[in-house]
């Protein structure tokens, strides 16, 4: 007698389908063997299955039993197979009673037959969906995580007996539904310890950070040491919308390859904030090395790459950033093979206004010569700066706090506006291969900008007055579009353009 149960296990964060085949001999000495490259944890599962079945009054172990985990050439780890093995044995005994069609089963058993959650269920469920399974049976502990996979019916159970009754058609149940909305973040709650409300004053810089987050624009902040650039930058992830499931999976995949997952099989659900030191090498930033590992640009995927003291970075490091900024991915060639990693990050850069750091400061005098400031600023120009949309001055705290004596708004409040702006953009760009205003090409801008005549005239005049390049002019328009979205305005109006012009301070110097 023979039965086959579909299951899966994890390889990195990729799931691999495993077929659990149970064969029961009619006669012979009682035995129970699990074959098919099962690692220790899977073999231990044998004893859990034996106890669980005995404890619910089903003794099938009075005959020779062989369980094969196919394909046999892949090592199987973890306790995912307890439940499918138990069901396989029962189904082999009475095949006609069990409906296992289009059904994937995973779960750990405790000795009394209760089901325990297993790691990586989300990856397993998305694999199941992609491979045509209609339903997944798993422990109740995993239910909320599992139903994040769209269009998959998830049936969670607390105990083996429930699973048996369900598969035999004796127990009817509805697929599990999650109570909250479609973001993983909502289930798990924010774990950010930092908040924008901790930043006093800095109205302009805070606003620039909000605009950058709303349109996913790259941003550079210039200010004296200690003005709070790092504090601002590190809070940007707290005002970016929660990661979608696809984003979380992609980020998790990269972190998994880079060996950065704190808990094996867990999902990264917080947007990364990656801040490499300015001495970091090309390989550290871009990726590579003997194992062609992902670099900081990939690890920051769906989050923020923060370059503090950007002008202190090696020139060649800044050069190699161009490809990921342009393409959203990096390709690493290594010993005859090519590996491609995602590199979709928001670039946040910070630098001092001059070599000593105090140019324009109200309290401390700058000691730099005019030429050295010029040379320093000249390093800012070039292809990298071309890819940065917003340029903002961060005043030292005392000065800006005088301007604005209120404490900052909380991240949660800013986030609400950013989320709304993202929604407006996803409607605008539906059916296109872009998501944000920052990604608009000139052609898309013509179609989607919706700028009124007064605003356009203002932008053209400003471009002439400040001698803006065509690229800079386009950036002004894109930022204006994002400002209009934050204001829930269908058209770009003069006020949006004039605010936008404030964020191009480096063009004006």
User: Which among 44-52, 351-359, 432-440, 453-461 is the span making contact with Zn ion, rule CB under 5 A?
Assistant: 351-359
Contact assessment for residue 61 and residue 52, using Cβ atoms and an 8 Å cutoff = no
Q: Contact between 311 and Zn ion (CB under 5 A)?
A: no
Dihedral-angle region of residue 382 (phi above 0 means left; psi in -120 to 50 means alpha; beta otherwise): left
For Zn ion, the binding residue among 34, 354, 392, 462 (CB under 5 A) is 354
Q: How near is the Cβ of 501 to Zn ion at its closest, in Å?
A: 26
- Rounded to the nearest whole angstrom, what is the least distance from the CB of residue 500 to Zn ion in the complex? 29
Residue closer to Zn ion by CB (options 224, 474) is 224
Region of 23-31, 71-79, 289-297, 367-375 interacting with Zn ion (CB under 5 A): 367-375
Query: Among 18, 34, 48, which Cα is nearest to 108's?
Result: 48
Q: How far is the CB of 368 from Zn ion (least distance, A)?
A: 3
Considering only residues 373-392, where is the footprint of Zn ion by CB under 5 A? none
Phi-psi group of 239: left, alpha or beta (phi > 0 → left; psi -120 to 50 → alpha; rest → beta): alpha
DSSP lists the bridge partners of residue 223 as 394
Q: What are the backbone angles phi and psi of residue 63, rounded to the nearest 5°?
A: -150, 170
Candidates 30-38, 98-106, 356-364, 425-433: pick the segment binding Zn ion (CB under 5 A): 356-364
For strand 153-157 and strand 219-223, is the pairing parallel, antiparallel, or unpaired?
unpaired
Give me the least distance between CB of 362 and Zn ion, in Å please: 14
Closest approach, Cβ 350 to Zn ion, in A, equals 16
- Number of shown-chain residues binding Zn ion (CB under 5 A): 5
| Size (the chain), residues | 509
Q: Give the residue with the Cβ less far from Zn ion, 354 or 468.
A: 354
Nearer Cβ to Zn ion (366/399):
366
Q: How far apart are CA 102 and CA 84, in angstroms?
A: 14
368 binds Zn ion per the rule CB under 5 A? yes
**Residue nearer to Zn ion on the CB measure, 337 or 365:** 365
Is residue 366 involved in binding Zn ion (CB under 5 A)?
Answer: yes
Using the Cα atoms of residue 75, residue 292, residue 263 and residue 303 in order, give the sign of their dihedral.
negative
Q: How far is the CB of 355 from Zn ion (least distance, A)?
A: 6
Q: Which of 356, 380, 390, 492 binds Zn ion (CB under 5 A)?
A: 356
Cα distances (Å, whole numbers) of residue 175 to 80, 272, 324: 21, 33, 42
Q: According to the binding rule CB under 5 A, does residue 359 interact with Zn ion?
A: yes
SS (H, E, C) 272-332: CEECCCCCCCHHHHHEECCCCEECHHHHCCCCEEEECCHHHCCHHHHHHCHHHHHHCEEEE
**For binding to Zn ion (CB under 5 A), which residues are involved?**
354, 356, 359, 366, 368
């Amino acid at each position: 007698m023979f039965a086959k149960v579909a299951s899966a296990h994890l390889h990195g964060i990729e799931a691999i389908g495993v077929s659990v085949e149970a064969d029961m001999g009619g006669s012979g000495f009682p035995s129970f063997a699990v074959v098919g490259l099962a690692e220790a944890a899977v073999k231990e599962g044998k004893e859990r299955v034996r106890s669980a079945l005995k404890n619910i009054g089903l003794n099938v172990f009075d005959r020779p039993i062989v369980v094969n985990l196919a394909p046999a050439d892949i090592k199987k780890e973890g306790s995912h197979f307890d439940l499918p093995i138990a069901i396989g044995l029962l189904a082999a005994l009475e095949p006609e009673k069990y409906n296992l069609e289009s059904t994937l089963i995973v779960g750990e058993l405790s000795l009394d037959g209760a089901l325990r959650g297993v790691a990586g269920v989300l990856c397993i469920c998305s694999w199941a969906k992609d491979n045509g399974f209609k339903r997944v049976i798993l422990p109740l502990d995993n239910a909320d995580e599992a139903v994040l996979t769209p269009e998959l019916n998830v049936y969670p159970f607390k105990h083996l007996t429930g699973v048996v009754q369900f598969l035999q058609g004796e127990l009817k149940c509805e697929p599990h539904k999650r109570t909250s909305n479609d973001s993983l973040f909502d289930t798990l709650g924010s774990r950010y310890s930092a908040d924008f409300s901790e930043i006093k004053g800095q109205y302009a810089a805070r606003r620039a950070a909000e605009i950058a987050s709303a349109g996913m624009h790259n941003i550079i902040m210039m200010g004296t040491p200690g003005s709070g650039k790092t504090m601002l930058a590190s809070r940007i992830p707290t005002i970016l919308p929660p990661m979608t499931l696809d984003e979380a999976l992609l980020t998790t995949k990269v972190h998994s390859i880079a060996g950065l997952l704190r808990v094996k099989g867990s999902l990264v659900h917080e947007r990364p904030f990656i801040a490499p030191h300015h001495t970091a090498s090309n390989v550290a930033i871009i990726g590579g090395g003997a194992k062609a590992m992902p670099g900081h640009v990939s690890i920051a995927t769906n989050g923020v790459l923060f370059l503090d003291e950007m002008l202190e970075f090696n020139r060649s490091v800044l050069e190699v950033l161009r490809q990921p900024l342009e393409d959203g991915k990096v390709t690493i060639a290594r010993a005859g093979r090519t590996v491609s990693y995602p590199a979709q990050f928001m670039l946040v850069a910070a630098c001092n206004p001059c070599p000593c750091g105090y140019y324009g400061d109200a309290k401390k005098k700058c000691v730099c010569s005019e030429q050295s400031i010029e040379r320093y600023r000249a390093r800012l120009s070039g292809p990298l700066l071309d890819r940065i949309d917003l340029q903002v001055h961060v005043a030292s705290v005392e000065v800006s706090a005088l301007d604005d004596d209120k404490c900052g708004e909380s991240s949660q409040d800013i986030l609400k506006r950013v989320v709304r702006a993202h929604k407006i953009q996803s409607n605008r760009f539906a059916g296109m291969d872009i998501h944000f205003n920052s990604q608009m090409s000139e052609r898309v801008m013509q179609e989607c900008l919706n700028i009124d005549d007064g605003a356009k005239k203002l932008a053209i005049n400003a471009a002439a007055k400040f001698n803006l390049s065509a690229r800079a002019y386009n950036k002004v328009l894109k930022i204006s579009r994002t400002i209009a979205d934050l204001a829930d305005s269908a058209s770009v109006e003069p006020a949006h353009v004039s605010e936008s012009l404030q964020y191009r301070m480096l063009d004006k110097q």
